[in-house]
Structure 1
């Protein structure tokens, strides 16, 4: 048993760091969300920020873009060209994707400064891309509403998760301690 633990120690350390980081960040995020009253259609501040930033991007294409609170559920209605196109819910703010990203980076530890910088810049990139994703999705849904499932359920998630995957590949191969160990061999 001891030999097995030693043999799989790197994997077990990775798994342990990933699970602990993911659980801690998820609990922190959930406690943040619990501060808002979903039963009274109250939207968390970050989701509201994402909706407002997406609308700002949409106004570059059309000045009639705006948001308004949804009165029956915790979401923000997004209008493009004066037409109600979509609702922004908590799941649209990409914080769960950022939590997953951070957990993976921490699990494949690197130098503290590199880790912190990569987490901050990667999280900012994911946030900016998410704003662009929501904005482009609204424009696409305005013009092609019949493709809602394909656009919202397949293409745009593939893009955001694809970018996160590429960030992970860069992290593991360039900045993590694993990359420096491979370079030494």
Structure 2
């Protein structure tokens, strides 16, 4: 039995670190969401609110007249283009859960502290920025092509955000493998 653990120690470590960090970060994020329910300054929560505002700024930069409005019965920000309600930005749209998934994977392939920290930071900022662009483009696309709303929302735009994460993971694994190879040669 010990030989099996020794043989698969790298896999066991990966799974343990991934699940442990994902669980811990998810619990912290959930605590933040529970705490946010009692605050009304940034509706429905700070990150969802700021993502809505920043996505609206991108659309306004592109020449669209945008109006944001708190949803009356749901924890969401409604986005209007020229008085047409197009999308609701909910907590799941703010990219935090995707960043948690990304971070957990990177921690599972932990390299040097500084390298890992800066990669997580840069990757998180990149995912966040891609998400803002994704929301802006999705809203504009729904405005221009409402008949493709389901296709865009359910397939194309999740593919963009998760594709970004997978590309960042693959890049990290390649970098991590090179770091490990270089360290073992020293």
* Interval of TM-score (by shorter of Structure 1 and Structure 2): over 0.9
CA distance in 1, matches of 2:37, 2:72: 13
1:71 counterpart residue number: 72
Tell me the C-alpha RMSD between the 2 structures: 1.6
User: Aligned pair count?
Assistant: 181
* TM-score (norm: length of structure 2): 0.92
1:10-21 matched pairs, under 5 angstroms: 10-21=10-21
Contact 2:111 2:179 (8 Å CA) reproduced: no
Q: Partner of 2:180 in structure 1?
A: 181
- Give, in angstroms, the shift of residue 80 of structure 1: 1.5
TM-superposed CA distance for 1:179, in Å, is 3.1
Q: TM-score, normalised by structure 1?
A: 0.93
Matched, 1:96 2:97: yes
User: 1:95, 1:164 → 2: CA distance?
Assistant: 12
Task: Report how far residue 63 of structure 1 moved.
Answer: 4.5
Query: What is the CA distance between 1:182 and its match in structure 2?
Result: 4.5
Counterpart mapping for 1:163-174 below 5 A: 163-174=164-175
1:82-105 deviation digits (Å, cap 9, x = unpaired)? 311100000000100000000000
Give 3-state SS (helix, strand or coil) of 1:35's partner: helix
- What is the rounded CA distance, in whole Å, between the counterparts of 1:135 and 1:181 in structure 2? 39
SS at match of 1:86: strand
Partner of 1:52: 53
**Where does residue 129 of structure 2 map in the other structure?**
128
8 Å Cα contact 1:62-1:80 kept in structure 2:
no
Equivalent position SS for 2:36:
coil
Which residue of 2 is the match for residue 8 of structure 1? 8
Extract unaligned runs of 5+ from structure 1. Answer: none
The residue number in structure 1 matching 2:142 is 141
Q: Is contact 1:18-1:106 (8 Å) kept?
A: yes
